[in-house]
Amino acid sequence: MDTNTVHIWNISLDKTFLDLPELLSDDELSRYSKIKHLRARTDFLRTRVGLRLILARYLCCPGADIVFNYTENGKPELSQDTPGSIQFNLSHSGNYCLLAVTAERDVGIDIERLQAGRDYAALAQRFFTAAEHEMFEESPDNRLFYRMWVLKEASVKARGIKLLQGLDRFECMIPANKSLNVVDKLDQNDQDNWSLRQWQPDEYSIAAIVVRCKKARFIEKTLTNIT
């Protein structure tokens, strides 16, 4: 896997072949057992198993042997003892889970499921910058809200900072004759070193990925079995 390539794995959380709690670590099993809501517990299990099965393909080891560390913001990372230089980021919403895998590149991915009946104008005023709120008011489309949100959250995750610390730091904008973009207001000189992609995995979801690479090549993959 070259350093300019990003694999985007699609994981369906409806797949029963992911019901393999024996792959989880002790701390994951502890978290799993404490989740009371059945759907949330199943989603946690299948998300973590899917993550382990996919990373095992890159690391050439059993999924159960993978050891994770966690940053102070709770972001999972491979243990420093893990061979290679794989970077990854994970997000799930509804029945969809997305996993980004790269070599040596900081990466963040986010997926959000569209929800009806929410006061998006109030949410935009609360969480978006003044410029973003103005852009939303000019075109109060719920999809625009989600497109901005996933770009901002993917940017935050790629830098490994807390979400609330990054909502004002990263600002979405639409340059002349271009599609939606996101800018790091604290480090605009670094802007050209990042690539982004935004898409709809299905009609009910919007996703975005941000990676520290000038010209990233994105390849979609689907987890269909345990091997």
Cβ within 8 Å of residue 90, ≥6 positions away: 47, 51, 76, 97, 98, 99, 100, 109
Q: How many contiguous H segments (helices) and E segments (strands) does the chain have?
A: 6, 11
Q: What distance in Å separates the CA atoms of residue 105 and residue 211, rounded to the nearest whole number?
A: 7
For the chain, the average pLDDT equals 91
Find the mean pLDDT for residues 184-201.
89
Residues above pLDDT 70, as percent of the chain: 99
> Which residue ranges make up each domain of the chain?
5-222
Q: Has domain 5-222 been given CATH number 3.90.470.20?
A: yes
Residue 17 pLDDT > 90, yes or no?
yes
* pLDDT tens, position by position, 51-72: 999 999 999 999 999 999 988 8
Percent of the chain, pLDDT > 90?
Answer: 65
pLDDT at 177 over 70: no
Q: What is the pLDDT of residue 135?
A: 87
Look at residue 110 in the predicted model and tell me its pLDDT: 97
Report, as an integer, the average pLDDT of 90-111: 95
Task: Calculate mean pLDDT across residues 127-147.
Answer: 87
Looking at residue 54, what is its pLDDT?
97
3-state secondary structure of 148: helix
Whether the predicted pLDDT of 80 surpasses 90: no
For 142, 145, 187, the CA distances from 209, given in Å and listed in that order, are 19, 16, 19
pTM: 0.94
pLDDT tens for 36-50 read 999 999 999 999 999
More confident residue, 163 or 219: 219
